[in-house]
A = this chain, B = another copy of it.
Amino acid sequence: MTPFGRLSLNQATVNPLTVAEAVDLCARHEIPAIGLWREPVARAGLAAAAAVVRSAGLRVSSLCRGGFFTHADPAARQAAIAGNKAAIAEAAALGAPVLVLVSGGLVPGSKDIVLARRMIADAIGEIVPVAQAHGVRLGIEALHPVFAADRCVITRLGEALDLAETFPVDAVGVVVDTYHVWWDAALPADIARAGDRIVSYQVCDWTLPLPADTLLGRGHVGDGHIDFPPITAAVTAAGYAGDIEVEIFNQDIWSAPATTTAATIRDRFPQVF
């Protein structure tokens, strides 16, 4: 198939759209897969969202997202685990093979990054049996270290992989997101080591300057500084042949017409290879 056969629109890229609108956008722009988010799925209703995706013939590449396991209050930790178990069931209902995990930042009120990491490992251990029961793989995502304090203390692919490898391969893998890991000198070796632990490959570009809200600083492929082809080649050599999600958090892109965004995504997608 052409490269476009592997293209997936992560719903966050068209944040203002409903599930039905995003599905329709994919159909009109010949994008064969979609990465869904829990919040718009909940607004649509889980069964309705699953039905609209299925009837359009789209693959669901992933569900975003679980995680946020780091809490000072034991009740809050238990609530997070319960929420992640629910997310796994939702992923199964949607036909998503992967639940992406953004694991959480430092525990509120604590600077102990080792404690945060241990809390994450413990929580993943608790949800693994549920993931296995549903046939959904958990994808540990390393986030860029700029988010270490407040969103995810797991900051490198190698670290995500070390954690994933403590669990069965059918249950836990890693997400490779170019935006978060492009700067890492160990990236080629870590991707090679990841092998069949790679459960998702996401792309967007590192653009400067960062906006006031650091979370929204991502760009279309080609607008920034990331050299995509070597990363894609490494991911492919590691054995990953699944969907490639374009996931961009950017207020300007959210404000643009969705058809423009979809056209740009298709236009730029060959630059990933």
Contacts and interface: CB of A to CB of B under 8 A. Distances in A.
A155 B112 contact: no
B227 A145 contact: no
A39 interface: no
Interface string A136-149: 00000000111011
Interface string A102-115: 00001000011110
Interface stretch (A11-19, A24-32, A62-70, A204-212): A204-212
A185 interface: yes
Contact of A185 (B111, B112, B156, B226): B156
Interface of A: 106, 111-114, 117, 144-146, 148-150, 153-156, 158-159, 162, 182-186, 206, 208-210, 212-214, 224-227, 230
12 contacts: A111-B225, A111-B227, A113-B227, A117-B185, A144-B145, A148-B182, A148-B183, A149-B225, A155-B185, A156-B184, A162-B185, A210-B210
Given A156-B184, A185-B155, A227 B149 contact: no
Nearest to A226: B111
A183 B225 contact: no
Contact of A227 (B112, B209, B213, B226): B112
Contacts of A183: 113, 145, 148-149, 153, 155
